[in-house]
Amino acid sequence: MRLDFKSHPFGVEAFFEKSTVLTFAVEKNQLLKYIPPTLCLDTFQDKWAFIAIAMVQTKNLRPKGFPKFLGSDFYLIGYRIFVRYITKEGKSLRGLYILKSETDSLKMKFLGDLMTQYKYSKIDILDEANSEKRTIKSIKAGINLELNLAKKDVSLPIESPFSSWKEARQFAGPLPNTFFYIDHSNEMLIIEGIRKNWTPNPIHIEHYKFEFLDSLGIENYVLANSFEIENVEYNWKKGRIEKVN
């Protein structure tokens, strides 16, 4: 398959019913090997780099301009590193570098693998909630997450490098770009995202386990922040490719 067909050949739009995002802080030297040399880490205090795990309930995902009934509903879990990219004009772009994506939809895996570089895996996902607790689990992916919904006065995680939620908000997304480096041609694929009504609300995490995060072999990563966003209109522009300097 030609790579240009996998490079987001048209715009896409969707509706996020709920997006739950956990951001983990890692000493920056430990993440350098996971990004191409054409990108640099987006850091805090020149010490901390960040991995975000987003769990998104998506509705009506479809090519931009298509009617909603042609869209797909699915669950997405994405693992991304916060990065920056310097364009050939010298502009610094902030965004995310894709490590892995997971979905409960076989259709989404097929289409995602066909037209994107998001590295999809098909997994089971269970998301249950009552008035006090929400649980997100996957046996296949080794995910076990518990949120305390009853707690109203939410504090930052005790090991977070941030001193306030305002500071933490800088690394809560959404970041405007997603990047993929095309190694054989020395090109950068850039997908710009646009959203409406993005208001992150802090949430309290009782317990988390992500086997993929553990598989990276990172030492001493800590939960830096956790937010939830609801009812967001989101769209992605057609991917653009530029030659890397």
Report the C-alpha gap between 222 and 40 in whole angstroms: 21
pLDDT, tens digit (0-9, with 9 covering 90-100), for 125-152: 999 999 899 999 999 999 999 999 998 8
- What residues pair up with 241 in beta bridges, in sequence order? 189
Q: What is the pLDDT at residue 2?
A: 40
Better-scored residue on pLDDT, 183 or 228 = 228
Cα 214 vs. chain centroid, distance in angstroms?
17
Give the position of tokens 């693998």.
113
Q: Which of 124, 50, 102, 55 is closest to 80 using CA atoms?
A: 50
Q: For residue 110, give every residue at least 6 positions away whose Cβ sits within 8 Å of its Cβ, in sequence order, or none.
A: none
pLDDT band at 195 (very low <50, low <70, confident <90, very high): confident
Say if residues 205 and 216 touch (Cβ distance below 8 Å): no
The mean pLDDT of 206-212, rounded to a whole number, is 97
Say if residues 137 and 104 touch (Cβ distance below 8 Å): no
Domains and CATH numbers, the chain: 3-243 (2.40.400.10)
pLDDT, tens digit (0-9, with 9 covering 90-100), for 15-41: 999 999 999 999 999 999 999 999 999
Phi-psi region of 3 (alpha: psi -120 to 50; beta: other; left: phi over 0): alpha
CA dihedral over 53, 83, 111, 229, signed as positive or negative: positive
Q: Does residue 1 carry a pLDDT above 70?
A: no
CA dihedral over 96, 102, 108, 111, signed as positive or negative: positive
pLDDT, tens digit (0-9, with 9 covering 90-100), for 43-101: 999 999 999 999 999 999 998 888 888 888 999 999 999 999 999 888 999 999 999 99
Predicted TM-score of the model (pTM): 0.93
Structure-token pair, residue 224: 């830096």
Structure-token pair, residue 163: 């001193």
The mean pLDDT of 176-191, rounded to a whole number, is 90
